[in-house]
Structure 1
Amino acid sequence: MPQPNIVLIVADNLGWGELGCYGGGALRGAPTPRIDQLARQGLLLHNFNVESDCVPTRSALMSGRHPIRTGCLQSVPPGLPQGLTRWEITLAQLLSQAGYATAHFGKWHLGDVEGRYPSDRGFDEWYGIPRTTDESQFTSSVGFDPSVVDLPYIMEGRAGQPSRQVRVYDLESRRTIDEQLVERSVDFMQRNVAAQRPFFMYLPLVHLHFPTLPHQDFAGSTGNGDFADSMAEMDHRVGQVMDEVERLGIAEDTLFIFCSDNGPEFRAPYRGTAGPWTGTYHTAMEGSLRVPFIARWPGRIGAGRTSNEIVHVTDLYTTLAGVAGAALPQDRPIDGVDQLPFFLGEQDKSAREGFPFYIKNELRAVKWRDWKLHFYWEPAVNEGKGKLESPYLFNITRDPKEETDVLVFNTWVMGPILKMVQAFNASAAAHPHTSPGKPD
């Protein structure tokens, strides 16, 4: 089989309940017709799981490893050590070695010093922001002092060359960045189709991360405020990429994936929704773990499929490496499993039954089959009870909002769950974790 192109679009802080195909859309004041169309053309997962926030999820995606292993535990202010060490082998490195052209357009958040930019880590080219979007508020904040803080910049770079600052990332450029990311994405696809080279395009959009500000072309378009206008813009941007894939005649040769990096924002006025699930990102609730995921590959992935099987973000590393014919690293634990047979419908079941869920250094919960065991209890951010003497167990099919602890009636579930924890701990003992902020 020829190597397919891979388009991976990752929205930022997009909750499970926002899109029309997940029960939101018009109900949230912003229909999402293009992403809904994508869902009808492929596989929609109801139980795609990520890490607790931006940095951990992006590190898991790029390394195939839980962030507790790589030290990518949280967002860090500019000028301080952060991101993946150069010892980690990124998905882009694997695909580049397999002959792919690789590009990153958007939010990186996995290193902001020479040696750790995307163009140092397997991407042929990149354009976007090295850290996060809340920095776009810096220059307009009361009392901001540029003498003590690194100014935020939009940057760009190419492999083998130093990355450079393009422009200050402020509220004005926040409104236009997704437009620029898609323009560059279209150009990248055109160049590589002309060169007849398979490509991996990673497009981590800025929407809907706060400050959630739409492009001027979308401001006021829904009549329901900035958040809804931004969702309408995000849907349009995804549609632009879909349209270019069609125009180039490569749809059947392209695995097209759209997902989110974590659950919805919890702060007003940017608070989102996780639909039927309780919680937001920065918690171990289902509203944090579950996010949208759609995969389209005409002729390979059946149209209109949905599934509630468990898939984890680390699985994308392993699955996409397999799609590309790239060999996985053999000298370290890889937490992702190959989900391609499941995606293609060759098997009904996911290749995984569960996973441990850490927030920073704490094992907060474990998910297994229809069950979720919480060792800590924090249903809302900063409203936790701390570690539980007796864990809470929920059947998340019968009790999706995680309201009724049933451990006393189902203690048998502790057996397989604690065996998963024991196996992970044994793996960590054999391959010690990287400490946060470790230098290269």
Structure 2
Amino acid sequence: MKKILLGGLVAVVGLGALAYVKRVDIVLALAASQKRTDIPENKPIAWMQGPAAAEATAGGRPPNIIFILADDLGYNDISTFGGGLGNGKIKTPNIDALASSGVAFRQAYSGTASCAPSRAMIMTGRYPTRTGFEFTPTPDGMGRVVKMVADSMRGQSGMPPAIYHADRVAEMPKFDKQGLPGSEVTIAEVLKTRGYHTVHIGKWHTGLGPEFGANAQGFDESLLMASGLHLPEDDPNAVNAKLDFDPIDKFLWARMEYAASYNDGEWFKPRGYLADYWTDEAIEVIKANKNRPFFINLSHWTVHTPLQAKKADYDAVGPMGSERERVYAAMIVALDRSVGRIVATLKEQGMAENTLIVFSSDNGGPGYIGLPEINKPFRGWKLSLFEGGIRVPMFMSWPGKIPAGSEVQAPVAHIDLMPTLAAAAGAALPKGVAIDGVNILPNAQGKGGNTRPHETIFWQSDGYRVVRHLDWKLQVIEKPGAVYLYDLATDPTEKTNLAAARPDMVAKLRKLLDDHKASGRKPLYPAILEGPIAIDRALGTKATKDDVIAYWPN
């Protein structure tokens, strides 16, 4: 009997040890088991139709507005500023043409260095210290899984451990309750006061359902990205590049599906490659609303991971430095094609002259895809507040209203888009609501002179706080307890830390940061995961003790 008991104990211990060794595979398999297998095939969208005839001439009504937002696009991913992936091999002619047809803001900043809060700032023109929407919503359990996977890969990555705050989980609302409060006033709601038909297409990521979803936040219609695959993984037209060094990528492949929904209805499969599908449907909306002013928020998932390209684009790109770079390059080609098709449709429909198009990215390119040049010449990545994480392309094109070939050198930010689009439409800003952004249309039209729209711009993600005041930029990073001061006028790529040499400037800017935080509200929910980011090293090569590390809270 003792032998049997001992043998059983050994077996249990052995199984426990095996489960521990395979714990990451087990957790990812459990995540994958939650995928839906019953998603219906694509169904045509019956878009609302505008009037058969225009009630006013195009010149007598407000302009149509199309906002095209890329996801995780690196500053050097487009060829507009002389860059382009693969040392300039990959060109973005349609995005370049859009920029040259209007104004390029050469110092444009995202609201923050991650997806959702940036989108909320675009929609509202307000900092998270006012809205409380400071962190990207994450599915239940994702923080714990990412921590587990990241720590299991430390021997490969060389990175310090991620920090998971299990004690804060009780304060977290469910995923579908992590949203921008419905009491906030969005640009869609503002434009509706001027008779706009408002449509969201693509990624929303600021909440779901009757309070937080796009329909609840001022959009008459919403074609929503319901999950996260660009194509089914086994689609014959898909080329996939999995990142075996990135814990988030492992979670996405395990959990994400190929799905969309219309007006918060049932899920269904999109039609073809996601960027093409969103563009097809945006074109249908343009045609359906030819005779009334409309606002389209075309919010692409491209070029966000998981890295998936359409095979035709992959073949056209040809060999690159690595397989993942080739897939990523093909995704950029798809994004550029989308911009070109939107512009071409407006011209074909005779609508280009009375349409304002804005193009930007929600934040800088991520280091976790392992491509070191995407934010060149800037340091840092998405999930850091170095310039590489927050400097983004931002272009506006409005024929006859914004001079072609214009450039604005003054710093501007995503929070400026809401008041700017309202001004272009002739819409009043909401009464009793403090708007942090300013109308930059005069700057775009060459009427702003040498004035700066902002003396001071703030960023904040829990203990990682940054301020740019004139050309001075201070970064205060709680973990690992670092302070960086840069003079961007002489050091735009943040190479020389002046914190020790200029304690007076550090004190001045720190007071601005402290006052900004003290004047605001607490976040709606806490950060539960803090992940280490190597500022000067893309993931995929092993970090060393000499690497500059900043922890990003979310």
TM-score, scaled relative to structure 1:
0.85
Residue in structure 2 matched with residue 146 of structure 1 by the alignment: none
Q: Which amino acid is the alignment partner of residue 72 of structure 2?
A: N
Query: How many Å separate the matches in 1 of 2:515 and 2:113?
Result: 22
> Is 1:436 the equivalent of 2:541?
no
Contact 2:226–2:261 (CA under 8 A) maintained in structure 1: no
Q: Is the aligned partner of 1:56 residue 2:151? A: no
Aligned counterparts of 2:266 and 2:504: Cα–Cα separation in 1: 56
Q: What is the rounded CA distance, in whole Å, between the counterparts of 1:66 and 1:136 in structure 2?
A: 37
**Pairs within 5 Å for 1:18-417:** 18-25=77-84, 27-50=87-110, 51-72=112-133, 73-77=135-139, 80=175, 81-130=177-226, 152=257, 154-158=259-263, 162-167=264-269, 176-193=273-290, 196-223=291-318, 224=320, 225-269=326-370, 273-348=374-449, 349-359=451-461, 361-376=462-477, 386-388=480-482, 391-414=483-506, 417=509
2:416·2:437 contact (CA, 8 Å) conserved in 1?
yes
Residues 131 and 86 of structure 1, relative CA distance in 2, 3 Å threshold = farther
**1:127 positional shift:** 1.1
Q: In the TM superposition, what is the alpha-carbon distance from 1:2 to its structure 2 partner?
A: 3.2
Amino acid at match of 2:275: D
Unmatched runs of 5 consecutive residues or more in structure 1: 143-148, 378-384
Question: What residue number does 1:380 align with?
Answer: none
1:323 partner amino acid = A
- In structure 2, how many angstroms separate the alpha carbons of the residues matched to 1:4 and 1:116? 27
CA 406–130 in structure 1, closer or farther in 2 if over 3 Å, else same: same
SS at match of 1:367: strand
Secondary structure of 1:20 counterpart: coil
User: 3-state DSSP class of the match of 2:468?
Assistant: strand
**Whole-Å Cα distance in 1 between the matches of residues 372 and 189 of structure 2?**
35
Mark the CA change 1:306 to 1:131 in structure 2 (over 3 Å): closer, same or farther.
Answer: farther
Aligned length: 411
Q: Secondary structure at the match of 2:276?
A: helix
Aligned-residue CA RMSD (Å): 3.0
Deviations along 1:234-265, one digit per CA (max 9) or x if unpaired, are 11111000101111112221111111001002
- 240-249 or 108-117, which deviates more: 108-117
User: How has the CA–CA distance of structure 1 residues 111 and 135 changed in structure 2, closer, same or farther, with 3 Å as cutoff?
Assistant: farther
Deviation at 1:367, TM superposition (A): 0.9
Deviations 1:303-355 (A, max 9, x none): 11223211010110111112222222333432111111111110133311221
Q: For 2:514 and 2:502, locate their aligned partners in 1 and report how far apart those are by CA, in whole Å.
A: 20
Does the Cα contact within 8 Å between 1:45 and 1:306 map onto a contact in 2? yes
2: CA distance, partners of 1:246 / 1:54: 31
Question: Is residue 14 of structure 1 aligned with residue 73 of structure 2?
Answer: yes
Supply the distance in 2 between the matched residues of 1:155 and 1:267 (Cα, whole angstroms): 26
Cα separation, 1, equivalents of 2:275 and 2:429? 32
Could you tell me how far 1:219 is from its partner in structure 2?
2.3
Identical residues among aligned pairs (%): 30
**1:127–1:154 Cα contact (<8 Å) kept:** no
Quick one: distance in 1 between partners of 2:192 and 2:515? 32
Greater Cα shift, 410-419 or 63-72: 410-419
Offset, 1:157: 2.8
Label 1:134 to 1:70 Cα distance change in 2 as closer, same or farther (>3 A).
farther
Highest Rg: 1 or 2? 2
Q: Which amino acid in the other structure matches residue 71 of structure 1?
A: G
* SS of equivalent residue, structure 1 residue 267: helix
Does residue 424 of the first structure (1) align with residue 516 of the second (2)? yes
Alpha-carbon separation, structure 1, partners of 2:400 and 2:380: 37
Judge conservation of contact 1:14–1:262 (CA < 8 Å) in 2.
Answer: yes
Q: Residue 150 and residue 132 in structure 1: after superposition, are their counterparts in 2 closer, same or farther (change >3 A)?
A: closer
CA drift of 1:82 comes to: 1.4
Distance in 1, Cα, partners of 2:492 & 2:344: 36
Listed one character per residue, the Cα deviations across residues 115-156 of structure 1 (whole Å, up to 9, x for unaligned) are: 322122211111131465599879x999xxxxxx98746333
Taking a change above 3 Å as real, the CA distance of residues 53 and 238 of structure 1, as seen in their structure-2 partners, is: same
